[in-house]
Structure 1
């Protein structure tokens, strides 16, 4: 097995297990804590980011699974994309599938981080943070690649 696959699998399993453990603990043991800047409060998100599309509550898990299936087919047909972004993809898949599992297990995504210092922000979870991290990594890699291509074009002329 290629080292990229091994590392991707390790990242996937690690993030998935940690996220599911923390969510289970919040649901089962009431880990609610109030803090001056951020609190830990159990909340259920029936939609996606910022509870958008919550009217699709019953169908979101299937829509999201379909999106994951389409993305997987794309990656199988375009392996170079996977190998280029395998770390970000493994983070994205683990976090996304963890949130989808929540929909099947709890009927909604389990959220618990509540930022309230200076302004109130949406309640979110580790998987949400990881999804944003993965997207940021992809964007940064794209910017780096565009700069490199631009620099190579300037050198040729």
Structure 2
């Protein structure tokens, strides 16, 4: 098995398991905690970011699974893309599939980070943070590649 594939599988499992254990604690063990800046409070999100599309709550898990399957097929056909972005892809799959599992297990995504200092922000979870980190990594890689290409063109 390719080294990058092994690394991505390990990253996936670590993030996925940590996220599910934490969500289990909030959903079943009452891990809520109030703080002056941020609180840890159980909330269920029936939609996606900022509860958008919550009217699709019952079907959202199937729509998201189809998106993951289509993305996986695309990556199988474009393996060079996977090997270039294997770390953020592992992050995306771990966070995304963990949130999808929540929909099957709890009927909604388990959220618990609640920022309320100066302004109130949406409640989110570790998987959401990981997904955003993956997007940031992809953007950074794209910027680095773009700058390198510009440098190579000017050097010619």
Distance 1:147 1:5 in 2: 27
In structure 2, the residue matched to 1:22 is 22
Which blocks of at least 5 consecutive residues in structure 2 are unaligned?
Answer: none
Match of residue 67 from structure 2: 67
Match in the other structure for 2:42: 42
* TM-score of the pair, normalised by structure 1: 0.99
TM-score (norm 2): 0.99
**Secondary structure at the residue paired with 2:85?**
helix
Structure 1 runs, 4 residues or longer, greater than 4 Å off: none
Deviations, residues 102-133 of structure 1 (Å, cap 9, x unaligned): 00000000000000011000000000000000
Q: Which residue of 2 aligns with 1:53?
A: 53
- What is the SS of the residue equivalent to 1:35? coil
User: Hey, what does 2:3 align to over in structure 1?
Assistant: 3
Shift of 1:2: 1.0
C-alpha separation between the residues in 2 aligned to 1:6 and 1:78? 18
| Structure 2 equivalent of residue 83 of structure 1 | 83
> What residue number does 1:147 align with?
147
Aligned to 1:118, the other structure's residue is in SS state coil
Report the Cα distance in structure 2 between the residues aligned to 1:10 and 1:51, rounded to whole angstroms: 30
Alignment of 1:65-144 (within 5 A): 65-144=65-144
Cα distance per residue 1:42-70 (max 9 Å; x no partner):
00000000000000001100000000000
Unaligned runs of 5+ in 1: none
- The 2-side partners of 1:60 and 1:109 are apart by 11
CA separation in 2, counterparts of 1:80 and 1:32?
43
Note the C-alpha offset of 1:99. 0.1
